[in-house]
């Protein structure tokens, strides 16, 4: 796992690879990757891990090449070897961004939708996708409510049915932890007498789980 201090260097290398892979068949991915490379080169002087993540978090462009690369693979029948390689790179980069809290609040929903689409890929990618669910729910709690929370839970539900025992068991374990986190939000609101819109949304999320999950 890359630390936030070298996250920029890690992403720079992966984006350069992504740009090279995409240059012939996927010009949109190449252009998106090069835009993020410009962003990264502009923040190389950030002195602390928090500063690197904060700078990345300001730009919605940061996740764009990775989202496009995952779509390129899931959108074609079987996916080519090139698109599969790009998608694998992208899932790994998204994992690093999520863990470093470097995804903008506005991009969390698109990140979750991308992960759900990527969950149709191979076992290694599926495990990486699952490893992002709980950090998204806990580190981006203000953004993963309502429809975004449902998307996160469905990633686990989809993969819980996997024929691969490791994937299925991992998905079941993370789903349990995610549900516990949702009810902990409600308990915390009760302890802190949180009765505003945030508290009401947490109650709706818990109700959804009780009724529909």
Q: What is the pLDDT of residues 37-66, one digit of tens each?
A: 998 888 866 667 778 889 999 999 999 999
Per-residue confidence (pLDDT) for residue 43, from 0 to 100: 83
Residue 79 pLDDT greater than 70, yes or no: no
Q: How confident is the model at residue 4 (pLDDT cuts 50, 70, 90)?
A: very low
Per-residue confidence (pLDDT) for residue 165, from 0 to 100: 96
Question: Which pair of tokens denotes residue 20?
Answer: 């090279």
State the Cα–Cα distance between residues 203 and 198, nearest whole angstrom. Answer: 9
Question: Which pair of tokens denotes residue 136?
Answer: 């998204």
* Half-sphere exposure of residue 159: CA atoms within 13 angstroms, side-chain side: 34
State the Cα–Cα distance between residues 83 and 25, nearest whole angstrom. Answer: 9
**Mean pLDDT along residues 118-147:** 94
Q: What percent of the chain has pLDDT over 90?
A: 66
Its pTM stands at: 0.89
Backbone angles phi, psi at 2, to 5 degrees: -70, 135
Cβ pair 38, 136 in contact under 8 A: no
Q: What percent of the chain has pLDDT over 70?
A: 92
Exposed, middle or buried by CB within 10 Å (0-12, 13-18, 19+), for 68? Answer: buried
Length of the chain in residues, anyone? 213
**Mean pLDDT along residues 143-166:** 95
Residue 192 pLDDT greater than 60, yes or no: yes
Displacement of CA 160 from its chain's centroid (Å): 18
The answer to whether the Cα torsion of 197, 116, 40, 72 is positive or negative is negative
**Mean pLDDT along residues 107-120:** 94
Cβ pair 63, 86 in contact under 8 A: no
Residue 74 pLDDT greater than 90, yes or no: no
């Amino acid at each position: 796992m890359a630390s936030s201090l070298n996250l920029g260097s890690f992403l720079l290398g992966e984006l350069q690879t992504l740009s090279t892979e995409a240059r012939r068949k996927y010009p949109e991915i190449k252009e998106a990757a090069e835009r993020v490379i410009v962003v990264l080169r502009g923040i190389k002087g950030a002195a602390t891990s928090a500063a690197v993540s904060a700078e990345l978090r300001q730009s919605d462009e940061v996740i764009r090449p990775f989202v496009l690369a995952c779509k390129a693979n899931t959108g074609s029948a079987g996916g080519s070897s090139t698109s599969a390689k790009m998608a694998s790179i992208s899932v790994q980069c998204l994992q690093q961004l999520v863990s470093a809290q470097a995804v903008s609040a506005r991009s969390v929903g698109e990140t979750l939708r991308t992960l759900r689409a990527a969950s149709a890929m191979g076992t290694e990618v599926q495990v990486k996708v699952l490893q992002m669910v709980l950090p998204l729910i806990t580190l981006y709690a203000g953004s993963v409510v309502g429809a975004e929370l449902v998307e996160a839970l469905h990633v686990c539900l989809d993969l819980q049915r996997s024929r691969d025992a490791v994937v299925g068991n991992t998905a079941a374990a993370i789903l349990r932890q995610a549900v516990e986190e949702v009810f902990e939000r409600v308990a915390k609101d009760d302890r802190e007498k949180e009765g505003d819109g945030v508290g009401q949304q947490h109650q709706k999320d818990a109700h959804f789980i009780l009724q529909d999950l």
